[in-house]
Structure 1
């Protein structure tokens, strides 16, 4: 359900989108320096905005540890449970219907706090980041992979009108709140005194994703599925070329931001 990481130097074909999605998870873990050592690996993980649980299943299997996913959607949670059971992971992963801005967990519960393409859905970015930090255990890593708009220059107060218009159309179709920049996320993490903060623009590595999605939608199976899914899904599909336009203009950025909670 999330973007793939397409590395032109890899031996894996750029048309292997499932492999690219797996690579996205691995590259994010590598970027955040999540330990591979069995003695230091995360023992408890939360997947914030888990969707149908793909990342949760992968992380639980990779580290042999428990992972809890949260989503606002009961339908997604039910589907995630079914998929986990089919993989024999029902004792390793669990899914709850919960609000990422008001998580039902005690302070410092998780060794790894993971958010894959859910930050763009959060209406209050400061509250979102604060909750990620709150549920992180001392020394835990936090990984945020999300859509952002470009960073503003020192002379800019906001995006220009054409850029705002383009993002407004995308937000309307995907029911998204106002976006922020990667710099905005970094400042929020700095305000919470988190450590080892670093960020990167991975837009070039996800470039093949939207064209692939559009091609799949234009197949007979894709068109039939869109029609059966209803107007909201069709509306979202019609906006996909605008996502490509945003990336090409440098307006939309696919960002990764990571940090560590102080010991």
Structure 2
């Protein structure tokens, strides 16, 4: 058999290299899809208890990550909704299927909700794989974003000597975990650290800023073109909605059980 001409051999090798680069050698090296960036004024529904009501005519739903099925997320997507995955990132919950994965050493004092104890957020390396698994669940179910709850534990009596620096480090870890999975991530409350964290998070979720006269503290998110999903419990919509509309909050009134009931602005 006649040997291949050297120039032809080089060409074949070059073509092989180009093909390998294009396929990644059998691995998918394509960048993750661009994550969602919710904009100010987007209407929303926040439901964390009771049978999920998918009939609310809003573009954004925020629902419990464990209790909501992949099929329900798909249905919401078919109806044109974006869907946020609520997970508790600041407290251990005895009733969750992964409760036994959290060592007792991570659990602090009770936080006032049945079956919940504060987490020692100083131990980020122990919490990282646990929170990554929860975010993986959100991604596997098809969620667009995550809402990690209780991101201001350093201001509470947790049983641990938490500092503002501990909270910043933990919150940034959570934001990075979400972004690595192509998920948008919301900063829950933690008003004091908004100036330091607004660049790390894609939106904010706030409770009761009107009741406590704190809504102006959320402006860094709005000024950055990022949505603030806001809920009040005790203040009537007629009192807080005009101010919400003026600055661009996405505001609703909810009951504390966070069932399907809502009053929109």
TM-score by length of 2: 0.32
More helix by share: 1
TM-score by length of 1: 0.32
Q: Which has the larger radius of gyration?
A: 2
